[in-house]
């Protein structure tokens, strides 16, 4: 994906934004699949929009990408 392609850049950014409000009480120690704002079929690899995994491990909430890259929630907003 070239940084000079505005559509690709915009879709990359929408993949990194969750669709809606996800409360910590919605995320348990079993992976929940949460929709992102990426719904463009050219870039999403699932029907109905891209999803990421979310789960807790003790007091830490983590988000997993489609390639299983892990990000930790540092500060939750209530």
pLDDT of residue 27: 83
Sign of CA dihedral 52, 30, 20, 47: positive
pLDDT of residue 3: 67
pLDDT of residue 53: 92
pLDDT of residue 38: 93
The predicted model scores a pTM of 0.74
Q: What is the mean pLDDT of each run of 10 residues along the chain (78 residues)?
A: 78 89 82 90 83 87 86 78
pLDDT of residue 55: 92
Q: How far apart are CA 68 and CA 60, in angstroms?
A: 17
């Amino acid at each position: 994906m070239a940084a000079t392609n505005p559509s690709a850049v915009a879709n990359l950014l929408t993949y990194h934004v969750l669709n809606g409000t996800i409360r910590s009480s919605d995320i348990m120690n079993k992976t929940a699949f949460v929709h992102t704002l990426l719904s463009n079929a050219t870039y999403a690899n699932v029907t109905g929009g891209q999803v990421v995994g979310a789960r807790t491990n003790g007091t830490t909430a983590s988000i997993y990408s489609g390639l299983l890259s892990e990000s930790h929630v540092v500060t939750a907003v209530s």
